[in-house]
Structure 1
Amino acid sequence: MRIALIEPDLRHAKLVGRLIFAGGHACQHFTISSEFLTRAADEFFDLLITEGWTGDRSAEDVIPLARSILPGLPVIVLMNEPRESQIVAALHAGADDCLAKPVRGPEMLARVDALLRRAALRRPTTRRRDVISGYSFDATQFAVSFRDQTVSLTPKEFRFALLLFANLSRPVSRAHILENVWSRGRDVPSRTVDTHASRVRSKLQLRPEYGYCLMPLYGYGYQLDAMSTQPVVESG
């Protein structure tokens, strides 16, 4: 699942990001709410975790704005030594849950999973599209649309591609790929992962001339990067 985190405290954001990643989810970090709201207009998130104060507005103000863009978005609010009045205010504003900072790993992941399960029960059977960086992922057809074309993928290729885009510009380990694409298939041969990466690269045209580069990371996994396609203008 794709989780958005609004957290001005970079140290705590790093901790939460590690926990989310360990829980098998992708985490996109934002330091202020305006950055998140801009991104949410183009991309889908399954859950929002936000600080009580996001750097530019309170969580009570962020929640309705977020849900005006992503209706039904589950929200967890993080608070420093929260008082009862703060928790009540957040819940009245629409928060689904509140957590004290610094978060405790097992508790946070359990609450995240519980919220995602409840959200999945409310989600329509015809799942929405995920749109990430110009690529539209249709999970009902295992198809990806980009640059006025639509490409069909196998289920594993689809999950692999979506995992890479959800972690754009971040390394994705083979263990994480196996966990998400092959459902804990630790005995999957390394060449099978490499073959799927090659097919995804070819089918989705993940090449520098089209603005993307999918590279193997020796001894670790893969990383998908967005690249500038603008020509270099020499001065002089």
Structure 2
Amino acid sequence: MRIALIEPDLRHAKLVGQLIFAGGHVCQHFTASTPFLSRAADEFFDLLITESWAGDHSAEDVIARARAILPSLPVIVLMSAPRESQIVAALHAGADDCVSKPVSGPELLARVDALLRRAGLRRPPNRRRDVIGGYAFDAAQLGVTFRDQTVTLTPKEFRFARLLFNNLSRPVSRAHILETVWACRRDVRSRTVDTHASRVRTKLQLRPEHGYCLTPLYGYGYQLDALPPEVAAEAA
């Protein structure tokens, strides 16, 4: 599941992100609500976790704005030493749950899983595309649309590409790639993985001048990074 995290505190955000990743989910971190709302206009998120002060707006305001874009979006609000009045205000504003900071790993993941189980009934059943970083993935057609063009991938290339984009700026191990793309077939040659990575790079134009860099990590796997606009402009 794709989870958005709005947390101005970078140290706490790193902790929450690691917990979410350990729970098998993808975490997209934002330091304020404005960039999150901009991204939510184009991409689907299964859950929002936000600090009570989201860097630029209160959680109560963020919930209303987020639900205007994603009407059924579940929301967890993080609070430091919350008073009863704060919890009541957040719940009245539409929060589904409130969690005290710093978070406890088992408790947070249990609350996340509980909300996602209920939210599974709300996710639009006819949603065919997920948009990540300007790339729209159509699972039904195995197509990826970007910069006004659409390319068709093989099933393995599609799974490989989705895995990389779901883990932007994070290393993906060969073991994880084999498990996701080749269903745990350990007999797949290293050259086969490298060939598929090369094809994904070429077909999706994952080059610095287009804002992306797909890097092989010697002895480990691959990492896809989104480059800052100024770096992409310099490369172009």
Bin for the TM-score computed over the shorter chain: 0.7 to 0.9
Change (3 A) 1:51 1:175: farther
Letter in 1 for 2:26: A
- The runs of 5 or more residues in structure 2 that have no matched partner are none
Aligned-pair identity (%): 79
Q: Secondary structure at the match of 1:187?
A: coil
What's the counterpart of residue 188 of structure 2?
189
Alignment deviations for residues 178-227 of structure 1 (CA, whole Å, 9 cap, x no partner): 454456x2736352433332232222122334332211111222111234
After TM superposition, the structure 1 stretch with the greater mean CA deviation from structure 2, 150-159 or 9-18, is 150-159
- The 2-side partners of 1:120 and 1:190 are apart by 37
Task: With the length of structure 1 as denominator, give the TM-score of the two structures.
Answer: 0.86
Q: Greater CA deviation, 54-63 or 159-168?
A: 159-168
Q: After superposing the two structures, state which structure 1 stretch, 63-72 or 133-142, moved more.
A: 133-142
How do 1:80-159 residues align onto structure 2 when only pairs under 5 Å count?
80-159=80-159
Query: Is the partner of 1:78 in helix, strand or coil?
Result: strand
Residue ranges of structure 1 left out of the alignment (5+ in a row): none
Residue 230, structure 1, aligned to residue 233, structure 2: yes
TM-score with structure 2 setting the length: 0.86
The residue aligned with 2:199 is 199
Alignment correspondent of 2:2: 2
Q: 1:52 to 1:179 in 2, by over 3 A?
A: farther
Shift >4 Å, 4+ stretches: 178-183
**Corresponding position of 1:54:** 54
Deviation sequence 1:97-119 (CA, Å, 0-9, x none): 11111111122112212222222
* Distance in 2 separating the partners of 1:182 and 1:98: 39
Deviates more, 1:151-160 or 1:62-71: 151-160
Query: For the Cα contact (< 8 Å) 2:178–2:186, is it kept in 1?
Result: no
Distance 1:194 1:113 in 2: 35
SS of the equivalent of 2:72 reads coil
Alignment length, in residue pairs? 232
Separation (CA, whole Å) in 1 of partners of 2:59 and 2:170: 27
- Cα distance, 1:175 vs structure 2: 4.1
Take 1:231 and 1:113, find their aligned partners in 2: how far apart are those partners?
43
SS at match of 1:112: helix
Q: 1:59 to 1:229 in 2, by over 3 A?
A: closer
The answer to whether the 8 A contact 1:175-1:186 is kept is no
- SS of residue in 2 equivalent to 1:3: strand
Higher alpha-carbon deviation: 124-133 or 101-110: 124-133
Instruction: Indicate the RMSD between aligned Cα atoms, in angstroms.
Output: 2.4
Kindly tell me: are residues 9 and 226 of structure 1, through their superposed partners in 2, closer, same or farther at Cα, counting changes over 3 Å? Answer: closer
Contact 2:7 2:50 in 1 (8 A): yes
| Match status 1:73 vs 2:73 | yes
* Alpha-carbon shift at residue 155 of structure 1 (Å): 3.6
